[in-house]
Structure formats: structure tokens, C-alpha cells
Amino acid sequence: MKVLLVNPQFPNTYWSFRHALSFEGKRAAFPPLGLLTVSALLPDTWERRLIDMNIKPLKARDIEWADIVLATGMLVQKEALRQVVDRCKAHGKRVAIGGPYVTTGSENLPAADHIFIGEAESTLPLFIEDLEHGTAQPVYRATEWPPLDLTPVPDFDLVDFESYSSISIQYSRGCPFHCEFCDITEIYGRVPRTKSPAQLIAELEALRQTGWRGSVFIVDDNFIGNKRQVRLLLPELAAWQERHGMPFTFLTEASVNLAEDDELIEGMRRAGFRSVFLGIETPVESSLREAHKLQNTRASLLDSVRKIQLNGLQVMGGFIVGFDSDPVDIFERQIDFIRKSAIPLAMVGLLNALPDTQLWRRLKREGRLIEESSGDNTSCALNFIPKMDPARLVEGYRSLMRTIYGPAEFYQRAIDSLKRLPANLPASSHRGLFNGLAAFFRIVFKLGLLDRQRLEFWRYLTHALFITPRRFADAMTLAAMGYHLRTLTEGFNDEGET
């Protein structure tokens, strides 16, 4: 059996970092971990090829080679996924699809031969057995969340490592919280399941054997969702890293209550974590309560962010405007919070009702849904009727984004964030993004010579050299990422699209 695994192209969004990756000479941020895991679940006798359309096109000869095509997609990839299915079906190929979009958007899916709803560990083995007996079904639906000891080491042999800036792995699935707008608990449940320390380290060892060094993204939606298990993992992870000369630096996502746990922060720092994405959402407590994000109301959010930064972790933050409880000055309050928190990479989005979330169901009951979300965080299109005047909401959002990603504003937050990192924090020899002189010269040429905001860049570079010299590589990484975010923000047209 010849299997073609296809990851459809992502649009150019804030999360794509496409304009930043060009400085490093990379094509995409991460390889498609889901497809690498699916590949490892297939029989050893099956041939497989991976086409990640974010680094190379899907060609007719690729489709003709295959006996079956397996494709995945997130919500933001839904149109690209549909095009992949249509192309492969036009070639007369059997097509199976799965992934987050398929799991939560099953009422409006491409016309594939086989649809997988839920996690592949529960459904793929049955499909393989049915396929071999000629009895494959049109729909396979997982009836439970499988234990992660069923998850194999991803098939890293399929990865073109030169094309990616970071490699992704997974430690846990699920989150103990129940934020109204979030689809993670709908997809993975509220009881976080984890891999054993030995299992995760086996994956890292397999990755190390490929020769990869540098950035590894642990893609968990809340890495500390199961704190008891994380406490068991971190000492073993730190010991493995130290034995092998710290080959990797980690970034991940976590809930803000990380700041309440000194042991966890120290354990993450020792294990090589350097960045963490926090779902902050809003400084307005009534909006947090509306969203059922009560974990963010237990302590000062500014103090929590600052504590994490002072203990050696750079902070990225997720923010949302458009809650029913948002006051009229929400945009100014978000800007003020982002400034004071010194979060350079502040990902602000308009509230969207994602399919099959609590928010989706509530708005549907209230008759306020308009259309399915695009999943595109650069879009100003609302998919529900907000309490705030829609025009005011969209214009306020656009003004907020133009402010926080203005060069002077962004560069100041970047310097402030780097100043908060402890002076004794060791500099990694593997920087991940923008490692090397070639990337540095590309950044200087683009931002220091060609960019119309080049004077701000030179002020920033001077500050980075004299104020935070030990974090100079981080400063250049942030400059490149800021350029990407600014480029997309400046590309908003009158309708708010890019």
C-alpha cells in the first residue's frame, strides 16, 4: 500500500511567521506532527510519502503514485483541505481526512471517502483492518480519549529538517479548565492525559539521533494541565538534557497559574524551556468571568507575567477583544496591559465562536451566530453579532493592532522583556530561529536599510547591544518576528482583511 500524507497550506496569518522565517531561509515553522504520528501508526510494510504544502507543492505525480491519500487540517486550513480532497478525488484516489477541523466541523466537510473524528490511536487501527478486508467504513468516530502510551514515536524520517525553524512534539492532551471560547476540551477532554517521562525522552532521543539541534515546540495546549505528572517529568528531562549537552531549547503553552508554582517554573528553566505562551485574554475581570476563565482572576495578571519573566521564561501572550462584558475602553486597556507586561509577541484577536464550543452553542441558542469561523487570526470578520457596535469593535481592534506593532512600541516592549530575564540565565548555543551570521545580515539589510522604519531598528539594535548584550540573538529573533506581525497589520485593507 502506497500512502500519501498531505498537510494543506496554511494562509499567511500572524501564527505563520512567514515574513520572519524568510530571514532564516526556512519555509515553515513546524512540520505536521499529526501526520508524522499517523505515519508511525501505519503498518511497516506500507510505503509513505509526506507532502507538506507549506514547503512544497502537491504535484500530480505525487497523487498518481499513491493508493490512498491521508490529509489533515486545522480550521484555518479548511479551504485548502477541500482543494486537496477535490484534486485527489479527480485523480480517482481514495481519500481519508482527519484532524482538529474534521473533529469539530463534521457538518460541513469535504467529500472524502473516509472521515476520522477524534484521535487516530482509537480509529486508525480499525480502519487498517477494515481496509485489508475490503470493509472500510465512511466514518470512524473515536468513542473515548485514548491513553497516550498508545502514541508511537513520530516518524521523523519523513521530515525535511532544512525547511523548518523548529520541530514539534507532544507531551499531553486535554486541559482541566473550561474556557467558553476554547475548543481544546471539546477535542481532547478536560482530564489531561500525559506520556510517561520515558516515552517523551524516547521521542527526544529519536529526534536527537536525526541530528536536529535547537528549538523544539511542545505543542500541548496546556503543558502544566496535569501538574503532578509534569513534576515527575521535569527532573528526568533536565537530567537527559544535561547528559547530552542541552541539545534542545523548549517552548510551550501553559495557563497563567504557572506563576503560582515556583517549583514548576524552576524545573522548566532547568530542563531548557525558554519561552511560554500564556492565554491572558483580557485584563477585564468581568470578561474573564463571562468566558469562564476563572484561573486568570486569582492573582494579578501583570504580577504573574512579570514573575515568569524574572525567572527566565520569555512570555508570549494571547489576548481577545469582543466579549459581551468588554467596556468601551477595552482597546486602550489592552494596550496599557500589553505595554506594562512587556510582552512583545502579543497575539490579539477578535473573539470568534469556534465550532462545537460552549460559546458556539450559547450564541446559537441566542440567535447570534452568523457563519462558521475562518480560523484566521488576521481576519476582522465577525462570525457572531457582538454586544458592542460591530463597526466600533473592528475599528478599535485595528487601531489596537496598529499601536502595539508600531516599530517604536514593539521594540520598546522587546527591550523591556529582555531586561527582565535574569542576568545568570545561560545563553543557549542553539538559538533555533535566526542562528547564524547569514540570518543576522538579512535582518540588518531588510530592517536596517530597506525598511522605512529603519531608524527605529537602529535605535533598537543599539539598545540590544548595550543594554541586553547577552540576549542579542533573542533581540534579533524578536525584531524579525515583529516585522512579520507589523507587515500583516499594515496590510489590513478597509474591510479589515489582509
> 417 with 308: CB under 8 angstroms?
no
User: Whose grid coordinates read 530597506?
Assistant: 450
Q: CA-based Rg of the chain, rounded to a whole angstrom?
A: 22
Residue in this structure with the C-alpha cell 507532544, named with its chain if needed:
170
**Which grid cell sits at 115?**
472521515
Segment 361-372, tens digit of pLDDT: 999 999 999 988
Contacts of 5 (CB under 8 A, 6+ apart): 32, 35, 38, 39, 48, 49, 50, 51, 69, 70, 71, 158
The answer to whether residues 242 and 316 belong to one domain is yes
**Which residue's C-alpha cell is 522565517?**
21
Q: What is the pLDDT of residues 355-402, one digit of tens each?
A: 989 999 999 999 999 988 888 877 899 999 999 999 999 999 999 999
Looking at the structure, tell me whether residues 118 and 172 fall in a common domain. Answer: no
Q: Mean of the per-residue pLDDT values for the chain?
A: 95
Pair 360, 450 in one domain:
no
- 451 grid coordinates: 525598511
Residue 158 falls inside a structural domain: no
Reported as a pLDDT band with limits 50, 70 and 90, residue 494 is very low
Do 6 and 104 lie in one domain? The reply is yes
Q: How far apart are CA 23 and CA 480, in angstroms?
A: 7
Determine how many CB atoms are found less than 10 A away from the CB of residue 300. Answer: 11
DSSP states along 305-363:
HHHHHHTT-EEEEEEEE--TT--TTHHHHHHHHHHHHT-SSEEEEE----TTSHHHHHH
367 & 267 share domain = yes
Q: Are residues 232 and 379 in the same domain?
A: yes
Number of H helices and number of E strands within the chain? 19, 14
Residue of 161, 169, 153 whose CA lies nearest to 211: 161
Report pLDDT for 432.
45
Whole-angstrom Cα distance, residue 209 to residue 221? Answer: 27
- Shared domain check, 313 and 271: yes
Are 242 and 340 members of one domain?
yes
Nearest to 214, CA basis, from 24, 472, 345, 14: 24
Same domain, 232 and 369: yes
Q: Are residues 131 and 251 in the same domain?
A: no
How far apart (Å, rounded) are the C-alpha atoms in residues 295 and 284?
A: 13
* Residue 73 lies in domain: 2-141
Residue 283 placed within a domain: yes
Q: What is the CATH number of the domain that holds 84?
A: 3.40.50.280
CATH of the domain at 389: 3.20.20.70
Which of 281, 217, 271, 275 lies closest to 244, judged by CA?
Answer: 271
pLDDT at 492 over 80: no
Q: State the pLDDT at residue 377.
A: 74
Which tens digit of pLDDT belongs to each residue from 431-451? 444 567 899 999 999 999 999
Q: How many domains does the chain have?
A: 3
Amino acid at 164: Y
Residue 52 · residue 32 · CB < 8 Å: yes
Of 388, 404, 420, which one is at a domain's C-terminal end? 404
Q: What is the pLDDT of residue 372?
A: 87
Reported as a single tens digit per residue, the pLDDT across 228-257 is: 999 999 999 999 999 999 999 999 999 999
pLDDT digits (tens, 9 = 90+) for 173-193: 999 999 999 999 999 999 999
Residue 301 pLDDT level (bands cut at 50, 70, 90): very high
Is the overall model pTM greater than 0.75, yes or no?
yes
Assess whether 387 and 443 both reside in one domain: no
If asked whether residues 179 and 131 sit together in one domain, one would say: no
In sequence order, which residues have a C-beta less than 8 Å from that of residue 422 and are 6 or more positions away?
310, 311, 312
Report pLDDT digits (tens) over 104-130: 876 789 999 999 999 999 999 999 999
